[in-house]
Amino acid sequence: MTTKIRPRALVRASGGPRYAVALVVDALGTGLLRPFLLLYGVTVLRLSASATGIAMTAGVVVGLVCMPAVGRWLDRGARSTAVAASMLVRVVGVALLLVTPAGDVGLFATAALFLGIGNQAWPAAHAALVATVAQGRERDAALAGGRALRNAGLGAGGLLATACLAGGTTALRALAVVTGLAYLVAAVLAWSVRLRARPVAAPAAVDGPAPRMRALLAANVVYVFCLNVPEIALPLVLVTQLHASPVWPAVIFVANTVLVVTLQVPVTVLMSRFARRTALALGGVVLAASYLGFLVATSWSAPAVAVVSVLCTFGEIIYAGSATALVTALAPAHVVGRALARFQLSTGFGLAVSPAVITALASRGPAVLWGSLAAATLVSASAVAKER
């Protein structure tokens, strides 16, 4: 069964106009601060790079630990309130950043903790809200539309932040203030939607626990590596192995953002002619093919790597358009919150470990890096296709 792209219906299925504006404002704020949080700790607070990195990693890890509680809250009916709370938690994080004195790594770590909790809780809360408003393939398109909007906001926020960096310490503090205000405005808009789901009791006919989707969640840890390929793997390969200009990683990253923003919804709608599980497995095959393409391209030139990166982005788009949609379709209504929370746990874990894994594999050469990623992704795609 396929659906058509109808902008008004898509906005309505995504939570309505106010919620769409909240998504964009929230993404703008995240785009302003997220790439430069490390710089804030090192430049403004005079912390060491290692201490700043450890504090940021701890924030992500503790944010993941909070996900089971978020899942239970969602299963009790929270929707727009949960989304708004994930934004307000980040307001607290930004406020703590602004009052942190130079050299205070403890308070910086606390700020990173609140930012991490909000960043981890938001995807599950957003997906649960969309799953309440829309059903079937319209829900898949709405989830894709939300991702496209978010990527547009992240890209615009990142560009604005880059333009402000020439201002030094003062500019970084100003970026933090604007980020906090953006999160606050987004939280108010999201809360104003006032959407709540009626808690659903487990049907009497259902025996045993809800499906744990072990293969899907394990595969997702590997799939999510694709999100860090443009940000970590390709810059590492281009600059250290091909000795290319730093302009090339920037071009690839911008192209990735533009393609996701413009094609996420159309490709998701096109893939609706396939079963969600089939689409997700196909996305893994495309990603694996792109990794093998990178292996060949790294022996040629930076332009060849850029061309292959387009194929990798298509794999990412197929994966992103089918993975969360598959979870919401598989999970019974009374445990959809916990299912989404477990899915976010696997996503967050994959994002957390992928930088270390990618850099470790890259140190052993292109064949080890791209061959390992391709093999692991193909195994994951096979596991997704076979799980029932």
- pLDDT single digits (tens) 167-194: 778 888 888 899 999 999 999 999 998 8
Tokens (6 digits) for 254 = 């911008």
Question: In this model, does residue 386 exceed pLDDT 80?
Answer: yes
DSSP code of residue 382: H
49-53, 199-203, 383-387: lowest mean pLDDT where?
199-203
Instruction: Give whole-number Cα distances, 364 to 65, 230, 241, 361, 370, in Å.
Output: 33, 19, 12, 5, 11
What's the pLDDT band for 214 if we cut at 50, 70, 90? confident
User: Is the pLDDT confidence value at 224 over 90?
Assistant: yes
Average pLDDT, the chain: 88
Residue 9 has pLDDT above 70, yes or no: no
Per-residue model confidence as pLDDT tens digits over 279-288? 999 999 999 9
- Percent of the chain clearing pLDDT 70 (strictly above): 93
Give 384's Cβ-side CA count (13 Å radius). 31
Give me the mean pLDDT over the 335-357 stretch.
92
**At 6, is the pLDDT very low, low, confident or very high (cuts 50, 70, 90)?**
low
* Cβ-Cβ contacts under 8 Å for 356 (sequence gap 6 or more): none
* Range scoring the smallest mean pLDDT among 48-57, 221-230, 312-321: 48-57
- Give the separation between CA 313 and CA 287, rounded to whole angstroms: 8
Whole-number pLDDT of residue 187? 94
Euclidean distance between CA atoms 15 and 341, whole angstroms: 20
CB atoms within 10 A of CB 203: 10
Residue 150 has pLDDT above 60, yes or no: yes
120: which 2 tokens?
Answer: 């981890």
Say what angle helices 80-99 and 168-192 make with each other, to 10 degrees.
160
Out of 31-35, 100-104, 351-355, least confident range: 31-35
* 78 phi, psi to nearest 5 deg: -65, 135
Dist CA 94 CA 98 (whole Å): 6
For residue 69, the tally of other CB atoms under 10 A from its CB is 11
C-alpha pair distances (Å), 113 with each of 166, 263, 289, 352? 28, 33, 37, 14
Q: Which of 89, 110, 86, 90 is nearest to 100 (CA)?
A: 110
Q: 204: which 2 tokens?
A: 């009497």
Nearest by Cα to 324 from 282, 280, 286: 280
State CA 326 to chain mean position distance: 16
Q: How far is residue 44's CA from residue 59's CA, in Å, rounded to a whole number? A: 19
- Cα dihedral across residues 151, 157, 191, 60: positive or negative: positive
Q: How far apart are CA 29 and CA 156, in angstroms?
A: 10
Give the pLDDT score at 39.
80
343-368 in b/e burial notation, b at 16+ Cβ within 10 A? Answer: bbbbbbbbbbebbebbeebbeeebee
Nearest to 262 by CA among 2, 1, 5, 3: 5
pLDDT at 204: 47
**How far from 3 is each of 12, 142, 254, CA to CA, in Å?**
15, 11, 29
Q: Quick one: pLDDT at residue 369?
A: 94
Helical pair 302-330 and 276-297, crossing angle rounded to 10 deg: 160
The amino acid at 145: G
**Measured torsion, CA atoms of residues 261, 112, 35, 259, in degrees rounded to the nearest 10:** -10
What is the predicted pLDDT for the residue at 341?
A: 94
